[in-house]
């Protein structure tokens, strides 16, 4: 029995939707996003992400098995390339429902480590920080309004599947988030070029939220005013600053080092 439905026309409504999901406004209005590649699809499926459509290239011989009853659509090679966001497509794209998590859904545990991204603009930076946060055992990642779209295809790809491994709350108001952290006794530590202390001199064993701001301007005044401490990373050469994802990784893994007692 045929496992899929063939789509051969650019006028097909589902095809038009898939192609339009490259646009943020279409993703938001439909509550959908694209997952490209077998590895990301398998990770999403294993974490219970709802798949609406599974799209395969005509060259794909085996349809990936997922434990949901989604519709499988097959595209000819030329149409598939038009909806693919990668240079070397693997021939697998899923249309998935966006993951919606609120602050109330976060399970903090005994010693939370929260990552807050405030106005970050580069998709690669966001994806890499999410991936590093998951690897470092972060409790949650919070994205404030003005941060690059979580469901941007480049962000999804950069996370390497970690998007589905750590709770991520999207589109938060700055002041609301500061109040939530304060209510839960989580100290705000802002990474800033003009920080008062070096990161390695600060106690990162206690519950804290690391705030990484915009690549050019840093965090906004709401976060600076709400900070328990503002920390910096020593820069010994003539470079003005570190990449945001690199800075986040350095600080997060010093927190891991401190918490492991080494």
24: enclosing H helix or E strand: helix 24-30
Q: Looking at 97, 132, 152, which one is the last position of a domain?
A: 97
Is 233 found in the same domain as 132? yes
Return the beta strands (E) in 91-206 as ranges: 92-97, 113-118, 140-144, 168-172, 187-191, 197-198
C-alpha–C-alpha distance, residues 85 and 151, integer Å = 13
Better-scored residue on pLDDT, 40 or 88: 40
CATH of the domain at 48: 3.30.1330.30
C-alpha–C-alpha distance, residues 190 and 196, integer Å = 10
Rg (CA), the chain: 20
Is 113 found in the same domain as 87? no
Beta carbons of 63 and 47 less than 8 angstroms apart: no
Instruction: Give 31-51 as a 3 state SS string.
Output: CEEEEECHHHHHHHHHCCCCE
**Tens of pLDDT along 180-202?**
999 999 999 999 988 989 999 99
Is 108 found in the same domain as 76? no
Is 115 found in the same domain as 10? no
Is 155 found in the same domain as 32? no
Is 114 found in the same domain as 87? no
Three-state DSSP class for residue 134: helix
C-alpha–C-alpha distance, residues 255 and 135, integer Å = 12
Is 71 found in the same domain as 200? no
| Domain count across the chain | 2
Residue 262's pLDDT is 57
Residue 3's pLDDT is 72
Residue 90's pLDDT is 83
Task: Judge whether residue 252 has pLDDT over 60.
Answer: yes
| Span 55-78, average pLDDT | 84
Is 118 found in the same domain as 241? yes
Q: What is the pTM of this model?
A: 0.93
Is 189 found in the same domain as 175? yes
Residue 128's pLDDT is 97
Q: Looking at 97, 121, 144, which one is the last position of a domain?
A: 97
Is 211 found in the same domain as 189? yes
CATH of the domain at 200: 3.40.1280.10
DSSP label at residue 149: P
pLDDT, the chain, mean: 93
**Tens of pLDDT along 96-138?**
999 999 999 999 999 999 999 999 999 999 999 999 999 999 9
Domain of residue 143: give its range: 103-260
The region of weakest confidence among 42-46, 65-69, 76-80, 81-85 is 65-69
Is 92 found in the same domain as 113? no
């Amino acid at each position: 029995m045929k496992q899929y439905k063939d789509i051969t026309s650019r006028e097909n409504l589902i095809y038009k939707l898939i192609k339009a999901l490259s646009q943020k406004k279409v993703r938001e209005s439909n509550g959908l996003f694209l997952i490209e590649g077998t590895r990301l699809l398998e990770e999403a499926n294993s974490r219970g992400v709802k798949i609406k459509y599974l799209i395969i290239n005509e060259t794909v011989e085996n349809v990936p098995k997922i434990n949901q009853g989604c519709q499988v659509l097959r595209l000819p090679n030329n149409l598939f390339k038009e909806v693919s966001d990668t240079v070397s497509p693997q021939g697998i794209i899923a249309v998935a429902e966006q993951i919606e998590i609120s602050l109330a859904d976060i399970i903090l545990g005994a010693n939370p480590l929260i990552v807050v991204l405030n106005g970050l603009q580069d998709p690669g930076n966001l994806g890499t920080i999410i991936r590093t946060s998951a690897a470092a055992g972060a409790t949650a990642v919070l994205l404030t309004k003005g941060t690059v779209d979580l469901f941007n295809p480049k962000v999804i790809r950069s996370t390497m599947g970690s998007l589905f491994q750590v709770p991520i709350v999207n589109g938060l108001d700055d002041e609301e988030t500061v109040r939530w952290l304060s209510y839960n006794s989580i100290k705000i530590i802002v990474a800033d070029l003009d920080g008062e202390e070096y990161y390695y001199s600060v106690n990162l064993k206690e519950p804290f939220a690391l705030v990484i701001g915009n690549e050019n301007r840093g965090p906004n005044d709401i976060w600076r005013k709400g900070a328990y401490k503002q920390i910096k990373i020593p820069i010994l050469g003539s470079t003005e600053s570190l990449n945001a994802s690199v800075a986040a990784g350095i600080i997060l893994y010093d927190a891991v080092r401190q918490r492991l007692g080494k």
